[in-house]
């Protein structure tokens, strides 16, 4: 079963590399993005509005607003089977994090992607947050714990719900994975950074933070591609 799933996943990955169109506009290009879209993406990231960190319960670093080319890139990553888009976005996040994290009093050791609902992941063939985290870690030097957080129960997709229902839906949705439990038991206290594709209401991140806090793990920050 697992072998079959793996095979399906790599076939999907292979297909996506054979598909040589721009992930945003579909024009032929050997890269993830054509020249125009790449430039627009870089402009959007460069000109992103600075959001004051003091209004946040958590330090959040993003590449910009969920809008324009950045939004289209995320949509292709999530819904058009373009996992390689995560490589570029994760690397930019990694470089940005190195700068932003200088102001943090403590340094996180591990990066934890927000886990997908297992049914979702099976359909998609990958968890986009995990792919982003891989690329993010390669650049930032943080250690990736891909299953540091796990889903403890099936939840309804968040975007179908209002804020209150979102909170309720996510209560108890996350649990700490074995890899993180082991490290936590050894170290006594740990600092982590969470990685996700979009930050909407912050409810997902907060509920993950709650679970981690309960085990004495500090969430020192969050990195997301875009903020809605
Ligand atoms: Zn393009």
Q: How many whole angstroms from 46 Cα to the centroid of ligand 1?
A: 18
Q: pLDDT band for position 211 (50/70/90)?
A: very high
Which of the residue ranges 6-20, 24-38, 105-119, 188-202 would you say has the lowest mean pLDDT?
6-20
Number of domains in the chain: 1
Six-digit token string for 136? 């993010």
CA of 41 to the centre of ligand 1 (A): 10
Which one of 14-28, 37-51, 94-108, 127-141 scores highest in mean pLDDT?
Answer: 127-141
Average pLDDT over every residue of 86-91:
96
Q: pLDDT at position 101, please?
A: 84
CA–centroid distance, 223 to ligand 1, in Å, is 25
For ligand 1, a single-atom ion, which residues have Cβ within 5 Å?
Answer: 22, 24-25, 34, 37
Name the 3-class secondary structure at 83.
coil
Residue entry with tokens 């490589």: 87
Going from the Cα of 113 to the center of ligand 1, the distance in angstroms, rounded, reads 27
pLDDT at position 102, please? Answer: 83
Predicted confidence (pLDDT) at residue 14 exceeds the cutoff of 70: no
In the reported structure, the alpha carbon of residue 38 is separated from the centroid of ligand 1 by a whole-number distance in angstroms of 7
The rounded mean pLDDT for the chain is: 86
pTM (2 d.p.): 0.84
Closest CA to 108 of 85, 133, 89, 86: 133
129-183: pLDDT as tens digits: 999 999 999 999 999 999 999 998 666 676 777 777 776 766 678 999 999 999 9
Write down the pLDDT at residue 165.
Answer: 76
> Could you tell me if 206 and 200 are in contact, meaning their C-beta atoms sit under 8 angstroms apart?
no
∠136-137-141 over CA atoms, to 5°?
Answer: 125
User: To which residue do tokens 């679970």 refer?
Assistant: 211
Q: What is the mean pLDDT of residues 18-33?
A: 87
DSSP state of 172: T
Instruction: Encode pLDDT of 46-82 as tens digits.
Output: 998 776 555 555 678 899 999 999 999 999 999 999 9
Give the distance (Å) from ligand 1 centre to CA of residue 24.
5
pLDDT value, residue 56: 57
Count of CB atoms situated within 10 Å of the CB of 68: 15
pLDDT at position 10 is 57
Residue 225 Cα to ligand 1 midpoint, Å, equals: 18
Please name the residues in contact with 167: beta carbons below 8 A apart, sequence gap of 6 or more.
203, 207
Instruction: Report which of 123, 143, 157 is spatially closest to residue 195, judged by C-alpha positions.
Output: 143
CATH number, domain at 116?
3.40.50
How far lies 208's CA from each of 3, 55, 150, 175, 183, in Å? 30, 19, 10, 8, 18
Residue 85 has pLDDT above 90, yes or no: yes
Output the CA 49–ligand 1 centroid distance in Å: 23
CA of 28 to the centre of ligand 1 (A): 8
Residue with token string 């969050």: 222
Asked if pLDDT for residue 25 goes beyond 80, the answer is: yes
Cα 73 to ligand 1 centre (Å) = 10
Among 115, 97, 94, smallest CA distance to 177 is for 115
Quick one: what percent of the chain has pLDDT higher than 70? Answer: 83
Q: Are 37 and 88 spatial neighbours (Cβ–Cβ below 8 Å)?
A: no
How much distance in Å is there from the Cα of 148 to the middle of ligand 1?
Answer: 35
How far apart CA 133 and CA 225 sit, in angstroms, is 11
The pLDDT assigned to 48 comes to 85
CA of 33 to the centre of ligand 1 (A): 5
- Domain of 32 in residue numbering reads as 2-227
Tokens of 214: 């309960």
- Cα(129) to ligand 1 centroid in Å equals 23
């Amino acid at each position: 079963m697992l072998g079959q799933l793996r095979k399906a996943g790599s076939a999907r990955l292979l297909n996506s590399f054979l598909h040589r169109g721009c992930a945003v506009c579909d024009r032929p290009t050997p890269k993830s993005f054509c020249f125009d879209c790449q430039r627009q993406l870089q402009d959007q990231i460069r000109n992103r509005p600075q959001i004051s960190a003091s209004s946040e319960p958590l330090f959040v670093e993003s590449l910009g607003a969920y809008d324009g080319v950045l939004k289209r890139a995320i949509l292709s990553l999530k819904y058009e089977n373009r996992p390689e888009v995560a490589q570029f976005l994760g690397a930019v996040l990694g470089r940005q994090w190195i700068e932003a994290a200088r102001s943090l009093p403590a340094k996180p050791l591990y990066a934890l992607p927000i886990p997908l609902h297992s049914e979702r992941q099976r359909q998609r063939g990958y968890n986009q947050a995990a792919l982003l985290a891989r690329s993010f870690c390669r650049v930032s030097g943080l250690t990736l714990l891909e299953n540091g957080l796990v889903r403890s129960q099936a939840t309804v997709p968040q975007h179908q719900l209002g804020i209150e229902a979102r909170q309720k839906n996510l209560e108890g949705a996350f649990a700490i994975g074995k890899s993180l439990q082991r490290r936590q038991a050894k170290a006594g206290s740990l600092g982590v950074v969470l990685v996700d594709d979009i930050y909407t209401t912050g409810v997902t991140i907060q509920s993950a933070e709650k679970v981690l806090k309960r085990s004495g793990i500090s969430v020192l920050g969050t990195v997301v591609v875009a903020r809605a």
